[in-house]
Amino acid sequence: MTNSQEGKKQSWDGMFYSIQRIDLLIISICGAGVYVCLETIKYLASTKTECKCLYLIKFSALFFLIGIILNLISQQFGYKANQHSYLMYDCEVEIDEIKAKNDQQELVEKLQELENCKNNYDKESEKFSNLTTTLNYTSMVFMFVGLIFTFIFFVITF
């Protein structure tokens, strides 16, 4: 029962921690990237500078923006993964409490129901966790592509 309660507590903490991890860094870098791209476009437009590779900086801004959007979506999936994990452990705690009572009639009636409930929450948690991981990596890729395009633009232009 102690393991289930500890798992339940960790899942609860994970719901809030998942919003504060490395994703802050991705959001910060992508946000700064969008700002740099827009300021560069504004500068080039105001100085009437002819630039043949302006599309690179526009693509960079687009990649940074997509990185931010994907990261925000992944945060929602991370929250849902931890929420379902928490509910799964909640079912485990209830199963352990019923087993501790040694009430055969209640055990037979509730045990199967709780096991099914636990398995469903576990599957949902795993699904959302996989989606979160995929979106986090994808947002990192978009961030890096945006950084590379921005760097190439500045190397070619200046």
Residue 14 phi, psi dihedral angles, 5° rounding: -65, -30
Question: What does the pLDDT read at residue 15?
Answer: 63
Q: Is the confidence at residue 20, as pLDDT, over 70?
A: no
Lowest-confidence range among 36-45, 90-99, 111-120? 90-99
Look up the pTM and report it: 0.80
Q: Is residue 35 very low, low, confident or very high in pLDDT (cuts 50, 70, 90)?
A: very high
Q: Is the confidence at residue 46, as pLDDT, over 90?
A: yes
Give the whole-number percent of the chain exceeding pLDDT 70: 92
- Distance from C-alpha of 1 to C-alpha of 136, rounded to nearest angstrom: 33
Query: Which tens digit of pLDDT belongs to each residue from 117-147?
Result: 989 999 999 999 899 989 999 999 999 999 9
Contacts 24+ apart (CB under 8 A), 37-44: 37/61, 37/64, 37/150, 40/153
Environment class of 61 (CB within 10 Å of its CB; exposed 0-12, middle 13-18, buried 19+): buried
Residue 58 phi, psi dihedral angles, 5° rounding: -70, -40
Among candidates 109, 122, 98, which has minimal Cα distance to 7? 122
Domain ranges of the chain: 25-157
